Structure 1
Amino acid sequence: MSMDKVKRTRLRQLIIGHLLETRSSIALAALCLLGALLMELLAPWPLKLIFDHVLMGKPLAPSWSYLGGLFQWGPLPAVAILSASVFLMVLVGGACSYAQVYLVTRSSYQLAAKLKVRLFSHLQRLSLAFHTHVPSGELVVKMASDTTAIRDLFTDWGVRALYQSSVIGGMLVVMIVVNWRLALVVLGSIPVLFIALARLNQKLRASISRQRKQEGRIASRMNEVLGAIAMVQAFGRREFEQDRFELEAARNLAEGITSARTTAAVTRVIE
């Protein structure tokens, strides 16, 4: 087996192990994703009832016959109850979306923190010949950028893309059921929707970039140790430096989780 395959296998094992450790949070995030999607799909139906059966006075279809008692109370109570149901759906969907974004982002920060600690421990065990030929700055940049890319794989490219595509597909199905002509109009506006989603992702990336600046302290600590790796190994300070780095990583993890809460809240406000 080649060295590249060994590295990929180790990384895969680390990611799978982390997902297994956080499987309860991942499962809860998946349920929140389904809940937010369900609320998004149910929200148009109360509005349809208001427009069709209250404002336009159309009779209820046989499939809606169980709601006959609601409209017997009069138009005003029916509108009030249906409007309250829409408001409730928005609240529940927002709470589910917030929880989903927070749980997934927290898990990704935890994975990035584990990767940093594992990589730092591995770099300290490498020979002096390796550190002589490889610039420490390059190692710092690679460590920071690679772990950040893996973190963003879960928060930006994976779950968020799945949610947005599911919402678009589900809403199109609902629109086709309600009014296929209106669905054709919506299909024509999809390019504009994708542009709006791209701008939303840019705003979220700006929020994430603020967290990346805080990770500069991790890079500074690593550069300090690697710059004096000969002294660290000569005086047997590897375990001491390892403990110091783990402390910095733990602090960075706490700041990352705080940033995850902010990101989840900003996502709901922007939407």
Structure 2
Amino acid sequence: MRKTKPFLAPIAAAALVIGLAGCQGGDIEGELTQKATQALSDAGLDSAEVSFEGREATVEADSADDAAAAGEVVAGVDGVEGVTAMGPDGEVALDSAAEGDSTDDADDTATDDATDDEGDDSAGAGDDAEDDAADDDAAGDDATDDAAGDDDMADGDDDGAATDAEKSEAQAALDKTAAITFVTGSAELTADGERAVREAADTLDEFENVRVTIEGHTDSVGPSGANKALSKRRATAVLEALTAQDVDAERLTARGLGESDPVVKDATAASDLAKNRRVEFVVTD
């Protein structure tokens, strides 16, 4: 009669391997949960809840804004490979630059944006200097031709430069533009935001000689580097929307200031945070 070979030893070994793997996965999830919970607390988002399946996080909050902000904070935690943010009405889209990236990556992006801004400003200043020199030459020719040319230059019309009065009037009109709003955590304009951009385009058409800087601002929720990068993308989105309305791109500059210049300092209330999330137009020339 053939004897049956015992299988108990292999089965026990397999069970031991599976048990160790399970403990390791639990350790990773526990460690990430602890780190993410601390990051949320540091960002003032204690009400948000975070859980992990492996390195994939699920964040839940009582509002869409808090869910998006909490998702960005958790995405910046070292070791996190993906984040799903859930608000009261379902999943909330995260800012593409913040999701799955570390805070260091966001800071690098912000640094690159700042460098781009400085480059743009320098290039713009150089172009303005060349344009001014050419305008001065043209003004001199007009003065030689007739005295009326001098009068036109004094008005600021002949060389295409805005007068101080035009700048002041344009700034006052732009300050009355409706708030430009975006889809939470993104640089996508809402329907109200698109209407506000059209309003600003009408003002710029009326004052066709002025140049403006479009400044993007965010609240202080989430990593500062991610906030600055988001503010630059929002300012750029407004610039592109204005050029789509036939505003000359050479008249426009976009800057992202992130959370550095709040309307309400040390804001914690939702209404105050909303005031700090804004796009402003600053007449420069």
Q: Do Structure 1 and Structure 2 share a fold, with TM-score over 0.5?
A: no
Higher-strand-fraction structure: 2
Higher-helix-fraction structure: 1
The TM-score normalised by the length of structure 1 is 0.28
Larger relative contact order, structure 1 or 2 (CA cutoff 8 Å, min sep 6)? 1
